[in-house]
Structure 1
Amino acid sequence: MTTALDLSAGNANAPRVDAAVTPARLPGLIGLSREGIAEQLATIGVPDRQLRMRSNQLWRWMYGRGASDFAQMTDIAKELRATLGESFDIARPEIVAEQVSVDGTRKWLIRLPARDGQAPADVETVYIPEHDRGTLCISSQVGCTLTCTFCHTGTQKLVRNLTAGEILAQILIARDRLGDWPGGIRPTDAPVPDAERAISNVVLMGMGEPLYNFDHVKQAMLIASDGEGMSLSKRRITLSTSGVVPMIERAGAEIGVMLAISLHAVRDELRDVLVPINRKYPLEQLLEACRTYPGVSNARRITFEYVMLKGVNDSLEDARELVRLLKGIPAKINLIPFNPWPGTDYECSDWDTIEAFADVVNRAGYASPVRTPRGRDIMAACGQLKSASERVPAWKLREAAGEPRANA
């Protein structure tokens, strides 16, 4: 079902959503480093001797307490709060729609304001509650360049990369709606984990390829894992890649989060079809990058995601080859029943086939849970995300603004 936006649930101190959805015209502070915030504060006359203190204050309010309005920052002088409000933006993007699945999964369609000469764009974010934890699946791009044939998101051409602030905004919005701030009120319309934090895990498994937006993803995840803000453990943040081999080592060294590989096939000829980036970075190169991933160990295993496609990649021979390929890599294997979407030619493997496949992997000593499909009824399951945003040529934007075309 699609639910109304009820602001009685969520951060008790947050302003109403309809007061925060005006497209931002002011410079944004969300997504900046502490040094970046200090540089912005210097432009409005904050004395040099105060810059470090003030940037730390803003950091704790934005990321530790969920403030989305400078007026909430009560330990900052009223006059300075007013100046900050006139100069900078920390409001949330607009929530266009919120859907709640029969199983409690939530999906938000978030509208990002226009920027860099491009029209506003929509992105989807999904929250999956379980009894002891809550996982937020966030997007790194609007659309995707990879065209994986079993993935709905891959049918939407890349619109643009998300900024660090737009990636973090998904976490902030979810924490607002789930009451996951000090003093927040948990919603009652669907289950929320009986745990200290409604969002305990974050996975970069939404729209887009995170390693094709490396700098912004890195900045966002370093902020999300900062101990004086959101304080998410890097062991509870997982970055999923389809196999951008040259960037995998950098992800481990510079971001340090958990790694997941969108594998889905054990032979190059099939993976070339299912995951076309394999034509550029074949399995041998990908698996070598996994073996040398910084920090990989039995305590920090790599997750290999394997979608189960009927009659395509689900034979016992495939299962045995999967075990052979991953030999020597500390690994966990997630078997994912295929989630259908309009227009796809693929079908989900039969349950008996999935169980037999899992048995081969388990007997080889690998943890291989079968991921329970969540949010299928609201198109929120793995591989189902897609927004209606389309890339808009620059000349159309200029024309809409009343500017003449260059060749006119």
Structure 2
Amino acid sequence: MAVTLDLSKGNSNAPTVMPPLSEATGDDKPSLIGMNRDELREALLSVGVADKQIRMRTGQIWNWLYQRGVSDISGMSNMSKGLRDELASAFTIGRPEIVSEQISVDGTRKWLFRFPARGAGRPVEVETVYIPEEDRGTLCVSSQVGCTLTCTFCHTGTQTLVRNLTAEEIVSQVLLARERLGDFPGMDDTGPKGILVPQEGRKITNVVMMGMGEPLYNFDNVKQALLIMADGEGISLSKRRITLSTSGVVPMIERCGAETGVMLAISLHAVRDDLRDELVPINKKWPIKDLLDACRAYPGLSNARRITFEYVMLKGVNDSPTDARELVRLLKGIPAKINLIPFNPWPGSSYECSDWEQIEVFADIVNHAGYASPIRTPRGRDIFAACGQLKSESERLRIKDRRALEAAGAAE
């Protein structure tokens, strides 16, 4: 059975839990997390660090944030107490609140993270998923709160967009997941308590921008976060182990490759424009031909750096042998891998997963054409952590708050 950890009581090792959403307040201090090096230098200058020390101090802080995983400025022990106090008075490096933490029967872990209010806004929540496998550990990261794309097979698409996540909030998902997994040096005995698994090598080896939202609609923040993840003196993930998934924001695809150098995944899901218009409505703006032309021109594309095409298997909708043969025809000349994704059901969905025999027939056709077409094993279905199942609780809470206000007004 799946396990949900109650982090608010009965667990002395659990992280501190913030007040409920209606009581939470934002911290006006900017965070050092998510800043690029130039911004970090400016932050240090603003608290009086001398020019001749800027490069050294920037490197020290970068190391503490991303390699050592410190979550309190006071823990940066190779800097003077005076400097740490100055930094703490002006900046924060705090983590988001963990609202819930669920563990699937297959070991998949899902967190609901709550970020403080920004300006006149209110706290927001996103889901982040960790998928452990024998040869890797993949973290699925969100880029937006909600989504604008309304893909009909995707649970996230049933809620409206609240706002973009900042670079800090994107990077913080990785940092807090690493913290909870004991993935920083020495965390098993000197770091935060409540670690879920012992430290035995690096837990998070891959990051996929496949969580809530469309990353290319939040490109500047996503780009800055990805460059921090790939920085050799930062989180230090290979760009070949970072994948950005897009539903097809064609004008941004070339820029994504040129400015980030990460791997690209395309949420394709159909081989005809009329069907893709229904499943992935962004297709009405940028149809399949335009999307695939952009893929062919993706910077760095080669047999060693293939594009992954994601294809959710929907019973009686897009899973016929004819669809498989057309998929092969469309992708001709593109170094590619096709991930076949059995549909993951969610409450209210009208779709069904293709029969397993049908998926295997589809895969055989694609394989025989020379394309790798692994069938993705569904992970975390029991905790709604599988592909297409993520959905923030923010919308539900907003509706609850609104109804409470309406009830109060009626009572008056």
Q: Does structure 1 residue 3 correspond to structure 2 residue 1? A: no
* Counterpart residue type for residue 263 of structure 2: M
Q: Does structure 1 residue 228 correspond to structure 2 residue 233? A: yes
What residue in structure 1 maps to residue 290 of structure 2? Answer: 285
What residue in structure 2 maps to residue 258 of structure 1? Answer: 263
SS of 2:394's partner is: coil
1:141/1:160 contact within 8 Å kept: yes
State TM-score, norm by structure 1. Answer: 0.91
Give aligned-pair identity as a percent.
69
What residue in structure 1 maps to residue 224 of structure 2? Answer: 219
Higher relative contact order (CA closer than 8 Å, sequence separation 6+): 1
Within a 5 Å distance, the mapping from 1:104-123 to structure 2 comes to 104-123=107-126
Q: Does structure 1 residue 170 correspond to structure 2 residue 139? A: no
Query: Aligned partners of 2:196 and 2:383: how far apart in 1?
Result: 14
Query: Aligned partners of 2:16 and 2:365: how far apart in 1?
Result: 50
What residue in structure 2 maps to residue 127 of structure 1? Answer: 130
What residue in structure 1 maps to residue 333 of structure 2? Answer: 328
What residue in structure 1 maps to residue 158 of structure 2? Answer: 155
| 1:275 Cα deviation from its structure 2 partner | 0.2
2:182/2:195 contact within 8 Å kept: no
Query: Aligned partners of 1:27 and 1:180: how far apart in 2?
Result: 25
Query: Aligned partners of 2:79 and 2:187: how far apart in 1?
Result: 22
* Counterpart residue type for residue 36 of structure 1: E
What residue in structure 2 maps to residue 388 of structure 1? Answer: 393
Query: Aligned partners of 2:133 and 2:387: how far apart in 1?
Result: 16
What residue in structure 2 maps to residue 245 of structure 1? Answer: 250
1:7/1:17 contact within 8 Å kept: no
Query: Aligned partners of 1:7 and 1:121: how far apart in 2?
Result: 26
Q: Please give the per-residue CA displacement for 1:320-355, whole angstroms capped at 9, x wherever unaligned.
A: 000000000000000000000000000000000000
Within a 5 Å distance, the mapping from 1:60-139 to structure 2 comes to 60-139=63-142
Which ranges of structure 2 fall in alignment gaps of 5 or more residues? 406-412
What residue in structure 2 maps to residue 13 of structure 1? Answer: none
Query: Aligned partners of 2:328 and 2:18: how far apart in 1?
Result: 53
Which ranges of structure 1 fall in alignment gaps of 5 or more residues? 10-15, 401-408
| 1:185 Cα deviation from its structure 2 partner | 2.9
1:127/1:135 contact within 8 Å kept: yes
State TM-score, norm by structure 2. Answer: 0.90
Query: Aligned partners of 1:76 and 1:188: how far apart in 2?
Result: 27
- 1:312–1:297: structure 2 CA closer, same or farther, 3 Å change rule? same
| 1:132 Cα deviation from its structure 2 partner | 1.8
Query: Aligned partners of 1:236 and 1:145: how far apart in 2?
Result: 27
Q: Does structure 1 residue 368 correspond to structure 2 residue 370? A: no
SS of 1:371's partner is: coil
Aligned counterpart in structure 2 of residue 29 of structure 1, from 29, 32, 37: 32
Query: Aligned partners of 1:100 and 1:7: how far apart in 2?
Result: 19
SS of 1:224's partner is: helix
Q: Please give the per-residue CA displacement for 1:103-127, whole angstroms capped at 9, x wherever unaligned.
A: 0000000001100321100000000
SS of 1:119's partner is: coil
Query: Aligned partners of 1:391 and 1:246: how far apart in 2?
Result: 33
Aligned-CA RMSD value? 2.4
| 1:19 Cα deviation from its structure 2 partner | 8.4
| 1:390 Cα deviation from its structure 2 partner | 3.5
* Counterpart residue type for residue 146 of structure 1: L
| 1:84 Cα deviation from its structure 2 partner | 1.3
Q: Does structure 1 residue 358 correspond to structure 2 residue 363? A: yes
Query: Aligned partners of 1:148 and 1:24: how far apart in 2?
Result: 35
Q: Please give the per-residue CA displacement for 1:247-282, whole angstroms capped at 9, x wherever unaligned.
A: 000000001100000000000000000000000000
| 1:18 Cα deviation from its structure 2 partner | 4.2
SS of 1:102's partner is: coil
Query: Aligned partners of 1:262 and 1:19: how far apart in 2?
Result: 36
> Number of paired residues?
389
More deviation in 174-183 or 34-43? 34-43
| 1:131 Cα deviation from its structure 2 partner | 1.5
- 1:27–1:339: structure 2 CA closer, same or farther, 3 Å change rule? same
| 1:81 Cα deviation from its structure 2 partner | 1.1
2:99/2:112 contact within 8 Å kept: yes
| 1:33 Cα deviation from its structure 2 partner | 0.8
- 1:19–1:277: structure 2 CA closer, same or farther, 3 Å change rule? closer
SS of 1:272's partner is: helix
What residue in structure 1 maps to residue 57 of structure 2? Answer: 54
Aligned counterpart in structure 2 of residue 306 of structure 1, from 308, 311, 315: 311
Q: Does structure 1 residue 204 correspond to structure 2 residue 209? A: yes
| 1:78 Cα deviation from its structure 2 partner | 1.4
| 1:42 Cα deviation from its structure 2 partner | 1.2
Q: Does structure 1 residue 43 correspond to structure 2 residue 46? A: yes
Query: Aligned partners of 1:140 and 1:313: how far apart in 2?
Result: 28
- 1:235–1:216: structure 2 CA closer, same or farther, 3 Å change rule? same
SS of 2:55's partner is: helix
What residue in structure 2 maps to residue 342 of structure 1? Answer: 347
